[in-house]
Protein backbone atom coordinates (compact mmCIF):
# COMPACT_ATOMS: atom_id res chain seq x y z
CA UNK A 1 0.00 0.00 0.00
CA UNK A 2 1.40 3.38 -0.96
CA UNK A 3 1.99 5.82 1.89
CA UNK A 4 0.75 8.81 -0.14
CA UNK A 5 -2.78 7.40 0.08
CA UNK A 6 -2.57 8.15 3.81
CA UNK A 7 -1.04 11.62 3.41
CA UNK A 8 -4.04 13.46 4.88
CA UNK A 9 -3.96 11.26 8.00
CA UNK A 10 -0.22 11.71 8.49
CA UNK A 11 -0.45 15.47 8.06
CA UNK A 12 -3.34 15.57 10.54
CA UNK A 13 -1.09 13.81 13.09
CA UNK A 14 1.55 16.49 12.55
CA UNK A 15 -0.95 19.35 12.82
CA UNK A 16 -2.51 17.87 15.96
CA UNK A 17 0.71 17.80 17.97
CA UNK A 18 3.38 20.48 17.62
CA UNK A 19 6.29 18.07 18.14
CA UNK A 20 5.93 14.49 17.00
CA UNK A 21 8.50 11.74 16.60
CA UNK A 22 8.47 9.24 13.74
CA UNK A 23 7.77 6.38 16.15
CA UNK A 24 4.63 8.22 17.33
CA UNK A 25 3.45 8.62 13.76
CA UNK A 26 4.10 4.92 13.09
CA UNK A 27 2.09 4.04 16.21
CA UNK A 28 -0.79 6.27 15.10
CA UNK A 29 -0.81 4.67 11.67
CA UNK A 30 -0.69 1.18 13.20
CA UNK A 31 -3.84 1.97 15.21
CA UNK A 32 -5.73 2.35 11.93
CA UNK A 33 -4.10 -0.72 10.36
CA UNK A 34 -1.39 1.01 8.31
CA UNK A 35 2.15 -0.32 8.52
CA UNK A 36 4.95 2.08 7.55
CA UNK A 37 8.68 1.86 8.14
CA UNK A 38 10.90 4.69 9.32
CA UNK A 39 12.47 5.01 5.87
CA UNK A 40 9.08 5.23 4.21
CA UNK A 41 8.00 8.04 6.54
CA UNK A 42 11.35 9.80 6.16
CA UNK A 43 10.96 9.83 2.36
CA UNK A 44 7.31 10.90 2.68
CA UNK A 45 8.28 13.97 4.70
CA UNK A 46 11.14 14.69 2.32
CA UNK A 47 8.70 14.77 -0.60
CA UNK A 48 6.50 17.12 1.41
CA UNK A 49 9.55 19.28 2.28
CA UNK A 50 9.18 18.71 6.00
CA UNK A 51 12.06 17.88 8.33
CA UNK A 52 11.29 14.89 10.50
CA UNK A 53 13.51 14.38 13.55
CA UNK A 54 10.98 16.55 15.34
CA UNK A 55 8.30 18.42 13.49
CA UNK A 56 6.97 21.87 14.18
CA UNK A 57 3.42 22.16 13.05
CA UNK A 58 2.96 23.28 9.49
CA UNK A 59 1.20 26.38 10.81
CA UNK A 60 4.42 27.40 12.57
CA UNK A 61 6.61 26.51 9.59
CA UNK A 62 4.52 28.71 7.30
CA UNK A 63 4.60 31.79 9.55
CA UNK A 64 6.26 34.74 7.81
CA UNK A 65 8.69 35.43 10.69
CA UNK A 66 9.83 31.80 10.75
CA UNK A 67 10.23 31.75 6.96
CA UNK A 68 12.27 34.97 7.15
CA UNK A 69 14.57 33.46 9.81
CA UNK A 70 15.06 30.34 7.69
CA UNK A 71 15.91 32.38 4.60
CA UNK A 72 18.41 34.45 6.61
CA UNK A 73 20.02 31.30 7.98
CA UNK A 74 20.44 29.73 4.54
CA UNK A 75 21.67 32.96 2.92
CA UNK A 76 24.38 33.41 5.55
CA UNK A 77 25.37 29.73 5.70
CA UNK A 78 28.83 28.90 4.40
CA UNK A 79 28.70 27.09 1.07
CA UNK A 80 30.61 23.82 1.03
CA UNK A 81 31.96 22.28 -2.15
CA UNK A 82 32.44 18.53 -1.60
CA UNK A 83 34.32 18.08 -4.88
CA UNK A 84 36.92 20.61 -3.69
CA UNK A 85 37.23 19.25 -0.16
CA UNK A 86 40.23 17.25 0.98
CA UNK A 87 39.96 14.40 3.48
CA UNK A 88 42.96 14.03 5.80
CA UNK A 89 43.24 10.73 7.63
CA UNK A 90 44.95 11.14 11.00
CA UNK A 91 46.09 7.52 11.01
Instruction: Return averaged pLDDT per consecutive 10 residues of the chain, 91 residues in all.
Output: 86 76 88 90 85 55 74 70 69 62
Q: Quick check: pTM over 0.85? A: no
Give the model's pLDDT for residue 59: 58
Identify the pLDDT of residue 78.
66
Helix extents (H) in 1-91 = 7-16, 22-31, 38-47, 58-61, 64-76
Q: Is 85 left (phi over 0), alpha (psi -120 to 50) or beta?
A: beta
Amino acid sequence: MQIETHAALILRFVDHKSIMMLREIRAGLAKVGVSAGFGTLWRFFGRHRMTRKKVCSRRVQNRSDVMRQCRTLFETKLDLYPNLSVFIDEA
